[in-house]
Amino acid sequence: MKKVVLFASGSGSNAEKIMRYGSSKSTFEVMSVFCNNPKAMVLERALHNNVPTVIFSKDDLNSGVLINKLRSLNPDLIVLAGFLLQLPAALIEAFPNKIVNIHPALLPKYGGKGMYGKFVHEAVLNNKEVETGITIHFVNELYDEGEVILQKSIAVDDCTTAEEIATKVRALEHEFYPKVIEQVLIH
């Protein structure tokens, strides 16, 4: 069975879908959830799914402490699921082509520093886009610029609020992210 480590900062709805998908398919197991926010809902979701957690600081991330923890776990894949900090180059270099992320837009549109969650959906709404979607990609040193694994689009021309867009995009995330993780691990 393949081993996955999740990195998350917030509510963890994607992380929970991934934990449940992995345990139901027996293809991969989420070994741990790494979180930089001790108040994040993802920690409760991990507890309910019997997944150990690691809470860390930005200093831990940038000092190399996490690289050593990750090496001891030897994950087949590191999955960013609502993780908001930029990974340091040393961590990316330690796990080449083993880190994936999901972005709530069709990159390269609405990507880069500060473009996450509601900020993306508000920009999509304000620019009167007729469609948006998700991009699942490998992580490199630049925000949202790694090699694209999958993009899926959805019509949003009927949406009048950023929340309506977020709901549609979240449904795509929940449907496709666990499956793509499985595919990346198999190949």
d(CA 166, CA 154): 11
Q: How many CB atoms neighbour CB 49 within 10 A?
A: 17
d(CA 12, CA 6): 10
How many angstroms from the chain centroid is the CA of residue 87?
A: 12
Question: Which residue out of 103, 121, 174, 187 is catalytically annotated?
Answer: 103
- pLDDT for 134-179, tens place per residue? 999 999 988 889 999 999 999 999 999 999 999 999 999 999 999 9
User: Does 103 qualify as catalytic in the annotation?
Assistant: yes
Q: How confident is the model at residue 25 (pLDDT cuts 50, 70, 90)?
A: confident
Please tell me whether residue 186 adopts helix, strand or coil conformation: helix
Q: Is the dihedral of CA 29, 2, 42, 13 positive or negative?
A: negative
What pTM was computed for the model? 0.95
Give SS3 for 98: coil
Q: Structure tokens of 48?
A: 């309910």
Assess whether pLDDT exceeds 90 at residue 17.
yes
